[in-house]
Structure 1
């Protein structure tokens, strides 16, 4: 598997984890010390991984058979650091996410998510 394919696999894990409120998938996609940052409801939201996962699972899963929306528009890799830009949907909202990733112990993981909520 190429580095790009490995990064895309983590992005898929993240988007599917959000869509279906899959806590295990989200824990696998995000580093334990990762952060999630963006403007939500007119305020800066700055969440830990666990706070983010709790918010996703509280919202609940999309209905079975839902096809997760995801458009990976950019992946940039420099050694063991990478950035993926993805547009996705969650709970009827469209986001553009900038996912900072680091390869740790041979596996890509999201260390930071900076998001924009489209109006």
Structure 2
């Protein structure tokens, strides 16, 4: 019985840690990722993107690839969704955490697009940072 009890205790600790991780990742997505995209604030957005991050996917059935620097430059130099007057909605669909890594699935409606994003996170020096972004335009689906 003792082994079973110890296993349960460890599992509860892990669950509590996962809940804290999900909370921290949710905060990063809502207050840095969504807000940075919406306001066109490349500094805010860049603060949760690990240097060297790559972005892959497709937009209107065309392959999409950018480095984090090219992506942030694009955010900086385009009209922000906030200034465009068009609707913007960011939604967290799912967050899965295993130890120091996590994947978040998001839906982002902006301009005339409806993106499905998959963000890979890694906890680095106590902070959850995006280390990879995959996206696809699901507007026509």
The 2-side partners of 1:24 and 1:56 are apart by 10
Q: 1:1-119, aligned counterparts within 5 Å? A: 2-12=20-30, 13-61=32-80, 62-63=82-83, 68-118=88-138, 119=140
User: Which structure: greater strand fraction?
Assistant: 1
Unaligned runs of 5+ in 1: none
CA offsets per residue over residues 80-111 of structure 1, 9 Å max, x none? 00000010123231101000000000000000
Unaligned runs of 5+ in 2: 1-18
What is the number of equivalent residue pairs in this alignment? Answer: 119
Superposition CA RMSD, Å? 2.1
TM-score under structure 1 normalisation? 0.89
The 1-side partners of 2:67 and 2:44 are apart by 16
Structure with max Cα Rg = 2
Higher relative contact order, chain-length normalized (CA < 8 Å, sep 6+) = 1
User: Which structure: greater helix fraction?
Assistant: 2
CA offsets per residue over residues 40-76 of structure 1, 9 Å max, x none? 2442111111111112222222239988411111100
